[in-house]
Structure 1
Amino acid sequence: MKPIWQFFNKNQIPVPSSEHWRSAIGGVIGGAFVAFLGKFIGEFTQVNDWAMASLGASALLIFVLPSSPMAQPKAVIGGNLVAAIVGVTCASWIPDPRIGVPIAIGVSILGMLFLNCLHAPAAATALSAVLGHIISYRFALFPVFIDSLLLVLAGVAYNRATGKTYPHQAPITTKVSAGDDGNSKEINEVLARYKEFIDINPGDLANIIRDVELHAYQQKLKSITCSAIMSSPVISVEMATPLEDAWIRIRKNHIKSLPVVDRNDRIVGIITLEDFLKYAAIDFDKTFGQRLQGFMRQSFSRASAKLSEAYPNAVGQVMQKTVRVISTNRNVLDLVTIFEGDGHHHLPVIDEHQKLVGVITQSDFVRAIHSSME
């Protein structure tokens, strides 16, 4: 068992120093806003107690932890109001503060949980009502309700001015998929197993989980190079290769493209199924081709000769000369933008001598992601 003093050395989650200053300045502005207006309202209504006891703690939540469920307007206003009513009631009916204090705290907590407006600092509001022997329910209206409302208004203005969403809504950091509702349900089920209150918005927790998973995948993919996932050896053709031969290779090997190389195995182009459909205009199925050629020879011997010359008959005539390639030492993570943004389905891989050594398809990329997840 670890010594108890080690638990006091636990570090908080690291936060930039700019956030420290933002939170502190927010507390000053929010506190000043409530103090000046609260004091003015107190003098106008001839009420001496113009500040509630939980003002500082509520300000901490609003300006330091604006995403906390306990810092939301319903929690701040509703929680303090419930606690004030409970505290005044206990002060009125229970003369002994030794009994009234614990009952006020417990009942105010129960009331906030029942009304779904849990606000931790509100327990101090109930406590102050009992210890101050406040028996007028006007205390719940002012200073408690008015101070809470003013503090929330200050929080809305300041947090939004400094780039925070308040009242808080979980930001969408990733694209929403059809299974996200199921994931949210699973998160709620897992949280329920802890059987305790966890001070985090479920939407924020879902985003954190997704970001952690994405970061983990990125770190794993960074260690994988293109040479590790590429398909090799590559089925390729040359510029002079007849189109019929290229078509047979595509059909036989069940592939969608053929890199075109020169005599030094350096890539000079690529031919795809789309190129055949767009330019070839001839069915290279052997049986149909023979029937078509026989029919054309019998019926239009001269016209067919001219027509055959008009059609391309070599790979170099229909290939795409602009080819996107990637080197063997490049990171697999670089393929994301290529496959997703540029619409590529297959990517030739070259070595340090610019020679074709492999090809990466979307299937290869998916397998790499799957293996990294495992």
Structure 2
Amino acid sequence: MKFLWHEGAVAGAGVALAIGAMEWFSFTSHYPLAVIPFATSIALVIGSPDAEPAQPRALIGGHLVSTLVGLAVVQLTGPSAWAAAMAVGLAILAMYLTATFHPPAGIDPLLVVSNGLPWSFLLKPVLAGALLLTFFAWFWHRGVRRRPWPQRWL
């Protein structure tokens, strides 16, 4: 039981630090925190670092692919509930086809379509945030936990 408590405490501390950094990123990028899609990604990458969806290819690629799908759908259809639903379904398909399946990224197209977000959302906060989260996870697992991460980069 002690081992599980320790692992949970370390993961919780890492997630808390990452969420704090995400709060700062939200403030500086002028996007409300509710529109920055990384809270569940942080929990996955810090809490289950060996899982395939927690590897950098899935983390970065999944967010990029899903956001691109959302941006394309909102460009073609405009914002609507049906368009958002279609964008999420297409994003899941696209992540499978590109081997970048990262379940938390499924929220990206919903946010994009529902809020009619611009193309600039792809670079800031999505790409910048995914890269920062990858760096944080690498530092956290290697530097703090003294464990290897990632299992593979691509």
User: What pairs up with 1:110-189 in 2 under 5 angstroms?
Assistant: 110-134=93-117, 136-161=118-143, 162-168=145-151
Instruction: Tell me what 2:89 maps to.
Output: 106
Instruction: Tell me what 2:17 maps to.
Output: 29
Q: Which amino acid aligns with 1:163?
A: R
Identity of aligned residues (%): 23
Instruction: Tell me what 2:80 maps to.
Output: 97
- Is 1:78 equivalent to 2:78 in the alignment? no
Q: Tell me if the contact between 2:79 and 2:113 (Cα under 8 Å) persists in the aligned partners.
A: no
In terms of fraction of residues, the more strand-rich structure is 1
User: What pairs up with 1:185-334 in 2 under 5 angstroms?
Assistant: none
- Distance in 2, matches of 1:168 and 1:15, equals 22
Give the C-alpha shift of residue 50 in structure 1: 6.2
**TM-score for the superposition, normalised by structure 1:** 0.38
Q: Deviations over 1:219-249 (max 9, x none)?
A: xxxxxxxxxxxxxxxxxxxxxxxxxxxxxxx
User: Which 4+ residue blocks in structure 1 deviate beyond 4 angstroms?
Assistant: none
- Distance in 1, matches of 2:32 and 2:53, equals 23
- Distance in 1, matches of 2:78 and 2:121, equals 18
- Distance in 1, matches of 2:24 and 2:148, equals 25
| CA spacing shift, 1:126–1:15, aligned 2, 3 Å | farther
Give the C-alpha shift of residue 38 in structure 1: 5.1
- Distance in 2, matches of 1:118 and 1:15, equals 30
- Distance in 1, matches of 2:81 and 2:4, equals 44
- Distance in 1, matches of 2:22 and 2:52, equals 22
Which of the numbers 21, 30, 49 marks the counterpart of 2:31?
49
- Distance in 1, matches of 2:3 and 2:93, equals 33
> SS state of the match for residue 16, structure 1?
helix
Q: Deviations over 1:120-139 (max 9, x none)?
A: 011101111111111x2111
How many residues align? The count is 149
| CA spacing shift, 1:146–1:117, aligned 2, 3 Å | same
Q: Which amino acid aligns with 2:99?
A: N
| CA spacing shift, 1:50–1:73, aligned 2, 3 Å | farther
Q: Tell me if the contact between 1:70 and 1:120 (Cα under 8 Å) persists in the aligned partners.
A: yes
Q: Tell me if the contact between 2:142 and 2:148 (Cα under 8 Å) persists in the aligned partners.
A: yes
Q: Tell me if the contact between 1:50 and 1:143 (Cα under 8 Å) persists in the aligned partners.
A: no
Q: Deviations over 1:294-328 (max 9, x none)?
A: xxxxxxxxxxxxxxxxxxxxxxxxxxxxxxxxxxx
Q: Which amino acid aligns with 2:39?
A: G
Query: Structure 1 regions of 5+ residues with no counterpart?
Result: 1-13, 43-47, 170-374
| CA spacing shift, 1:15–1:118, aligned 2, 3 Å | farther
Give the C-alpha shift of residue 94 in structure 1: 1.5
RMSD: 1.9
**TM-score for the superposition, normalised by structure 2:** 0.88
In terms of fraction of residues, the more helix-rich structure is 2
Query: Structure 2 regions of 5+ residues with no counterpart?
Result: none
Give the C-alpha shift of residue 31 in structure 1: 1.9
Give the C-alpha shift of residue 18 in structure 1: 0.1
Q: Tell me if the contact between 2:36 and 2:125 (Cα under 8 Å) persists in the aligned partners.
A: no
| CA spacing shift, 1:101–1:38, aligned 2, 3 Å | closer
- Distance in 2, matches of 1:49 and 1:114, equals 30
